[in-house]
Structure 1
């Protein structure tokens, strides 16, 4: 039984192998945070590597087994953000990262949450993920572990930390740039005249 599928081929199934792997990633987030706070950087990196491997594996299996699901489309980006937040909070707790960076990253996602509510109130679903947002998330997901690599192995900190900071700060900039694009697109969308349900123009053009 494959469950109902939407226009993108995603089903409503919950208990699939890819979704179980995504839930495993989410379950490892508090472990990851605890290890960073305690200064166990090598183990934290190991957890992050396992998480990255399961992220690749669940995407591969979803396509190979035709088990793409709406739940999986929500869990994957949520897990990515939680790992970014956990890394930032853990490093800030140890005073290795300034708290203003945590505030900058979290504030952007709070803004997107507000934009989502505004769209829902006007009868629209979430906006498509912008490519710039994907690049920004990737930069943060790459830069922070490189910083942690220098903490786990001090011998290479002289090279890993400058590179990691450069990538992470660039990612933070792109993160907000993408957020501004989402805000502008939200304003454009909610100004689109709505016709009666069932008419062709009632559908949000993507």
Structure 2
């Protein structure tokens, strides 16, 4: 019983619908990523900034609609974080390629995604879905989404103001990466805890037989 409660807590049971408004918005955010990347690579920075701003704004819109109108879906729980991460990583990759964003920012962000991707695969072996988003993770994502447009704006002109904006982008990147990894360690701690409890419950059930199963309930 306790294990089932944990699974419900960390893997809520949303609907199986696919074509909901939040899901369509998340899909459009993913579709916008190649356009943002291409615009940055061709140095159309202002146009890329406009598309990026619309994509970032859509992140809050789809979540609000899903909660407000009870349109939380299994697909949406996967699409939304995937869209956010792809938007951040691809934008930073393009900006790093043209020399606007430092490469260390991209490396830190991508490395965390690899680590958490491995954890998601491990949790799936025990029947768990993605862990709920921690508020530190939300803050980190927001900070990184701010970082990208700040760097772009800093390249739209010259002078003291734009130099200050570039330093502001560096500061946002440092804070964003720090929070991103703090959130990553929180997710790792949660995931390891769930796996340990699952393994302990399985060992207890094997040792105690029906009695052990009854005690767990």
Q: Return the structure number with greater relative CO, CA threshold 8 A, min gap 6.
A: 2
Change (3 A) 1:9 1:184: closer
Alpha-carbon spacing, 1:17–1:169, altered in 2? closer, same or farther (3 Å)? same
Partner of 1:75: 79
Structure 2 counterpart of 1:182: 187
Q: CA deviation at 1:91?
A: 1.2
Structure 1 residues 64 and 180, CA gap change in structure 2 (3 angstroms)? closer
Q: How many residues align?
A: 197
Q: Rg bigger for which structure? A: 2
Give 1 or 2: higher helix fraction.
2
Superposed, which structure 2 residues align to 1:124-143 within 5 Å?
A: 124-143=128-147
Displacement after TM superposition at 1:61 (Å): 2.8
TM-score of the superposed pair, with normalisation by structure 2: 0.80
Q: What is the CA–CA distance in structure 2 between the aligned matches of 1:174 and 1:13, rounded to whole Å?
A: 33
The more displaced of 19-28 and 144-153 is 144-153
Sort the Cα spacing of 1:8 and 1:126 in 2 relative to 1 into closer, same or farther, 3 A.
closer
Native 8 Å contact 2:89 2:106 kept in 1? yes
TM-score by length of 1: 0.84
C-alpha separation in 1, matches of 2:215 and 2:145: 40
Among 156, 165, 170, the residue aligned to 1:165: 170
RMSD: 2.4
Distance 1:110 1:200 in 2: 38
Q: Distance in 1 between matches of 2:215 and 2:143?
A: 39
